Amino acid sequence: MRVVITRDAARAGGLEEGLRAAGLAVDFLPLTEQRLVADVAALRGAVDRLRAGEFSWLLVTSATTVRMLAAVGWTGEVPAGTRLAATGAATAAALAERTGVEEIWTPSSEASASGLLAEMPTPRPGERLLLPQSALARPQLRDGLAAAGWDVTAVTAYETVSRLIDGVPPEGVPRLEADDVVLITSSSAAQAWVELVAGAERRGDELAPAQVLAIGRPTARTLEERESPADVVLDEPTADGVRRALG
């Protein structure tokens, strides 16, 4: 059995290492790529304000966001009194590696916007929160935090684009086999996956992996909205979670 992950091999991490340690073959089907926004002035300005101690919290929702902050000059400085929060364990690990801070708040129930909103502490008067996100981020988190009383500065850090052309992936990516398990890693990858399936159908190609697993409820919801639901939804992107899903 082979687990095919819909991201670039260059972004391999603990999940892939854990799967290989469990004896599973791992390959990559990068359906999207992330790029800094064309105009980075707002992002750089937010980083300057972070360094100056204007924010009580930095909330990061993906490891990609950490990389994009670094790309505009953030070397991981966290002023005294500024707390760090992350959506889940993988994002927290990327943030810890960048900052050296070990105490990073994460929701205990679910690694998603819903989990964050359900568990984020009540803001104290005057607390400000920096929320760098993807251009494709749903407004649920930003609006929910604001409704809970947070003074939120939301800034776009990057955009995600499909690597497919007319439903066809670029050369060099693996061809899917009938016993493969495809792991959809994000909502943007879910959109590209649906595009890939539709392109295969138009060409009369067979594209029927054994199972499709979605990481997180937002990813699963994107697949459902496009009438291509996942077989299993993983609340955490861990090797143990994948192994349990595979039985």
First vs last C-alpha separation in the chain: 12
Per-residue pLDDT of the chain (247 residues; tens, 9 = 90+): 899 999 887 776 778 888 999 899 999 999 998 999 999 999 999 999 999 999 999 999 988 999 999 999 999 999 999 999 999 888 899 999 999 998 999 999 887 888 899 999 999 999 999 999 999 888 999 999 999 999 999 999 999 888 898 888 888 788 888 889 999 988 889 999 999 988 888 888 877 788 999 988 889 999 999 999 999 998 777 888 888 888 7
Give the per-residue pLDDT at 56.
97
How buried is residue 10: exposed, middle or buried, by Cβ count under 10 Å (0-12/13-18/19+)? exposed
Residue 118's pLDDT is 93
pLDDT at 165: 87
- Name all domains of the chain by residue range, CATH numbers in brackets: 2-31+163-246 (3.40.50.10090), 35-160 (3.40.50.10090)
Locus of tokens 């690597």: 163
The predicted pLDDT at position 78 comes to 93
Sheet containing strand 2-5, edge to edge, reads 25-28, 2-5, 181-184, 211-215, 232-234
Which token pair is 114? 């819903």
